[in-house]
A and B are shown apart, each in its own frame.
Chain A
Amino acid sequence: MPSLLELQQAMYRSLVGGDDAAAAAHVVANGLAPGARLQVYRNTALVTLTTALRLCYPAVQRLVGDEFFDGAAMLFIAAQPPQSAYLDAYGEAFAEFLADFPPAASLRYLPGVARLEWAVNRALHAPDIAPLDLLRLAAIDPANHPQVVLTPHPAVGLVHDAAPVDAIWRAVLAQDDAAMAAIDLDAGPVWLLVERGRLGIEVERIEAEAWQFTAALFAGRSIDDAVAAFPGAEPVQLIAGHLAAERFIGFEHAIPRRLRAASPEPQS
């Protein structure tokens, strides 16, 4: 008799890996082969996860067609099953999967559209978190502002692509063939900011320098680090704009680099 854990591991190998042997040995046939019984669960799981990916990636689905999408989803699900039951957070790696998926290579903008759709999905489902209280920021010595590390709101995302993936995304979802035909794939890169607006999800093009500076802040770099890395951006104006748009939820002080270098090593 298998332990519960052994049985569940055998079920995993059956449902995800397609290897029924170990699980089937413990299943009562009762007129129907154990493999056929396991197949019912495998089907339901696949449909549930494919549906989750379809909900997240509707533009990708329309670009490649249902059959192609479902086939790609099946391979993705087998390679990277979800790690949690919170399926709104499942599928982030689908864009990278598509980038390495040879049958999709002819649509070079497809991974970019997928990354944009993931940012939209995050903006839709991210938790509600109160924005940074500006009084808290005002309370710190302005001389320390350069060392501030701002925490971005989880509903705000940044997407960059060599193709106009925002225009493709809009045209595909609107099923606007004329707009789709008018898109110039070589018009140059797009730098996008995605967020939850008052009336829905907003996808906005911003300047390259502004995007890069913002991305540095979002990645956890201090304000002076970000300024040093992207001197062409207008930091005061950009940060003021982000604060006014409630794109940050908190902050902390980074140890200045010169002090960090001088810090003693922790005693072991």
Chain B
Amino acid sequence: MSPHSAAPCATRGPIPAQAGIGLRFQHHQAVVDTRPDIAWFEVHTENYMGGGTPLRYLEAIRRDYPIACHGVGLSLGSAECLDPGHLARLRGVVERIEPALVSEHLSWTVVGGRYLADLLPLPLTDEAFDLVRRHVDQVQAVLGRRILVENPSTYLQFRHSTIPEWEFLAALAARTGCGVLCDVNNIHVSACNHGWDSAAYLAGLDPASIGEIHLAGHSVRQLEDGVTLHIDDHGSRVCPEVWQLYAAAVACFGPVPTLIEWDNNIPPLETLLDEAAEAASLLSRPAGGGADAVAA
């Protein structure tokens, strides 16, 4: 697969195929004060569904930087219908912020009108595919725009799953026209937890569908009987294995907007900018420099 098979950057909208960082409340003032040299910011959509100070900051920052809205609460995989209240709140944020990208997850969080507060795994079945496809169609119709759907980190698989996750995502993109938010850290975490082949995962996605890449840190938990589980916690630097997989992803997909994501132990802004610079150096490597060339 050649990097040149990737869609040209212009079709990815105004977010350039460069490195951005997750904008967190702790850094609002520093960003406004220092106007850091970074290509774009991503926010958690749910953090801006109200009014007041957070929205004031985002409105100020969006004047100078492209913004991506990344949601965690839409629950595309709920067997019941999407929460109309949440969809309306999402639409409100999108109309107000006019983000360059809008994304959600291949997961579910709501059942029986209760929000379970984690990105829960789906059984990857034909039933789940039909349901997620309908929900993505619905969201794209309500928003009047394409969304990206992100691969989750998972800690369990269901016995009755029949479709590999990458095939599920690739088919979802093909059927709905949605893009894929390829979280390289999540691929690594799930691959370690389930024995998947990360390279096969990347190769299974259509490069033209990749609208964004996420990079983050994770932790490794030692469980009983010497079993280890990789946990996606966004609380540390990107690890060498994930940088290596990222280089392979860039070789596969071509340059794609790439996000440095922290949600726990959030460090000073400089640390995020430092990691973004590292991503930028891999993004700007000449085509053909694959993972083998990356010093881990």
- The CA-CA distance from A165 to B128 in the complex, in Å, is 50
Contact of A86 among B49, B128, B227 (CB under 8 A): B49
In the bound complex, residues from chain A placing their C-beta under 8 Å from that of B98 are none
Known pairs A3-B79, A26-B159, A49-B117; A12 contacts B111 (CB<8 A): yes
B73 within 8 A of A: yes
B63 within 8 A of A: no
In the bound complex, residues from chain B placing their C-beta under 8 Å from that of A138 are none
Q: Is the CB of B55 within 8 A of A84?
A: no
Q: Is the CB of A7 within 8 A of B118?
A: no
> In whole Å, how far is A70's beta carbon from the nearest beta carbon of chain B?
15
In the bound complex, residues from chain A placing their C-beta under 8 Å from that of B158 are 7, 26-28
B residues 51-78 with Cβ under 8 Å of A? 51-55, 72-75, 77-78
Contact of B155 among A2, A40, A81 (CB under 8 A): A40
Known pairs A30-B157, A32-B227; A81 contacts B116 (CB<8 A): yes
B-contact 0/1 string along A107-119, CB 8 Å cutoff: 0000000000000
Known pairs A2-B160, A36-B223; A155 contacts B51 (CB<8 A): yes
Q: Is the CB of B114 within 8 A of A83?
A: yes
Chain B residue at minimum C-beta to C-beta distance from A2: B160
Known pairs A3-B79, A85-B110, A155-B51; A28 contacts B116 (CB<8 A): no
A1 within 8 A of B: yes
- The CA-CA distance from A69 to B117 in the complex, in Å, is 19
Size class of the A contact interface (CB-based, 8 Å): 35 or more
Q: Which of B13-21, B33-41, B80-88, B247-255 contacts its partner?
A: B80-88
> In whole Å, how far is A19's beta carbon from the nearest beta carbon of chain B?
14
In the bound complex, residues from chain B placing their C-beta under 8 Å from that of A85 are 46, 72-75, 83, 86, 109-110, 115
In the bound complex, residues from chain A placing their C-beta under 8 Å from that of B157 are 27-28, 30
Size class of the B contact interface (CB-based, 8 Å): 35 or more
Q: Which of A120-128, A171-179, A180-188, A251-259 contacts its partner?
A: A120-128
In the bound complex, residues from chain B placing their C-beta under 8 Å from that of A128 are 51-52, 55
> In whole Å, how far is B119's beta carbon from the nearest beta carbon of chain A?
9
Q: Is the CB of B112 within 8 A of A88?
A: no
B-contact 0/1 string along A14-37, CB 8 Å cutoff: 011000000000111011101011
In the bound complex, residues from chain A placing their C-beta under 8 Å from that of B80 are 5
In the bound complex, residues from chain B placing their C-beta under 8 Å from that of A41 are 116, 118, 120, 155-156
A-contact 0/1 string along B105-140, CB 8 Å cutoff: 000111111111110101101011001000000000
In the bound complex, residues from chain B placing their C-beta under 8 Å from that of A268 are none
B-contact 0/1 string along A142-160, CB 8 Å cutoff: 0000000000000100000
> In whole Å, how far is A10's beta carbon from the nearest beta carbon of chain B?
9
In the bound complex, residues from chain B placing their C-beta under 8 Å from that of A263 are none
Contacts A/B (CB < 8 Å), 9 sampled: A3-B79, A4-B125, A5-B80, A15-B116, A36-B224, A37-B155, A44-B118, A82-B117, A85-B109
Interface residues of chain A, those whose CB is within 8 Å of chain B, are 1-5, 7-9, 11-12, 15-16, 26-28, 30-32, 34, 36-38, 40-41, 44-46, 48-49, 81-88, 123-129, 155, 196
